[in-house]
Amino acid sequence: MAIRKAKVFTVTSVKGGSGKTTTALNLAGSFAKKNYKTLIIDLDLFSGVVGLSLNMDNNKNIFTAIDDMTNNRFTFIDDYVMAYNNNIDVLCAPIDPRLASKINVKYISVLLRKAKMKYQIIVIDTNHILSDINLMTFDYSDRILYVINNNPANLKNIKSMISIHKDMQQDNYKIILNESNEKLKDYFSTYDIKNIIKSDIDYIIPNSFYIKNIDKYILDGKILVLDNKIMKKHKKTIKVFDEMVDDLIKETKDED
């Protein structure tokens, strides 16, 4: 019988400030609501925003896991992840950003292989830099999800990334337009954006999902789509995340 492996969804961007990490956490929350055993991996190694956003004491993290691998101390991935709830575990980036540069890309691939055997879904949060680690992560991903917003630099950069993917004959990426994190910046219509980037937009997080006091939720370590108050107030928007998750699962169901 074939062994099921986790589906890997890497959330990235082409510029900081697009709401990438919040989107990654909400996607993980939506997968968890559907009872998928989900692992969030923070590969934005120099920032460590996932651990901060979820109020986690990340003394055990990717660096300690890889350091133990290097020195033959590694046993199980369970020793390095932390439980957020019954369906979500988190593998944090190192606390000290100086440790990020000491992480060998080949061990990241080993870590991902081990994680894929244990979980049903892996959501990876990473940065916009085309580093060796990010390129390797893209190769391991079932879908690469680019989060952009209504910002000229974002649109210029995503147009370049789409060209790179086309040149490499890769089509396993999706474009998520996040209208909620810069609500007042609406330089371009959706029609304009499609024309500028020469591509469709796969998903839109509407500006109605703008959370004025989002810092409070971050300080409280909450994933928005799992918070009862947010769920009641933003029911239609949260449905966007649920539909996105359904679509991603359906698309990748029969892929190896």
Q: Is the pLDDT of residue 21 over 80?
A: yes
Q: What is the mean pLDDT of residues 62-90?
A: 95
Q: What is the mean pLDDT of residues 112-128?
A: 95
Task: Specify the pLDDT at position 123.
Answer: 98
CATH number attached to the domain at 7-252: 3.40.50.300
* Mean per-residue pLDDT over the chain, rounded: 91
Task: Give the HSE-up count for residue 61: Cα atoms under 13 Å, Cβ half-sphere.
Answer: 24
Note whether 3 and 116 are within 8 A (CB). no
Task: Specify the pLDDT at position 16.
Answer: 87
Distances (CA, A) of 93 to 3, 24, 41, 254: 28, 15, 8, 31
Q: Is the pLDDT of residue 3 over 70?
A: no
Which of 101-105, 186-190, 199-203, 241-245 has the weakest average pLDDT? 186-190
Q: What is the mean pLDDT of residues 187-213?
A: 90
* Single pTM value for the model: 0.95
Task: Specify the pLDDT at position 1.
Answer: 32
Residues with Cβ within 8 Å of residue 35, at least 6 apart in sequence: 87
Task: Specify the pLDDT at position 217.
Answer: 84
DSSP structure class, residue 89: E
Q: Is the pLDDT of residue 40 over 60?
A: yes
Percent of the chain with pLDDT over 90: 73
Which of 16-20, 169-173, 212-216, 250-254 has the weakest average pLDDT? 212-216
* 80-87 contacts, C-beta under 8 A, 24 or more apart: 81/39, 82/56, 82/57, 82/58, 84/40, 84/54, 84/56, 84/223, 85/32, 85/226, 87/31, 87/32, 87/33, 87/35, 87/36, 87/37, 87/38
Note whether 147 and 11 are within 8 A (CB). yes
- From CA 125, how far away is CA 170, in angstroms rounded? 20
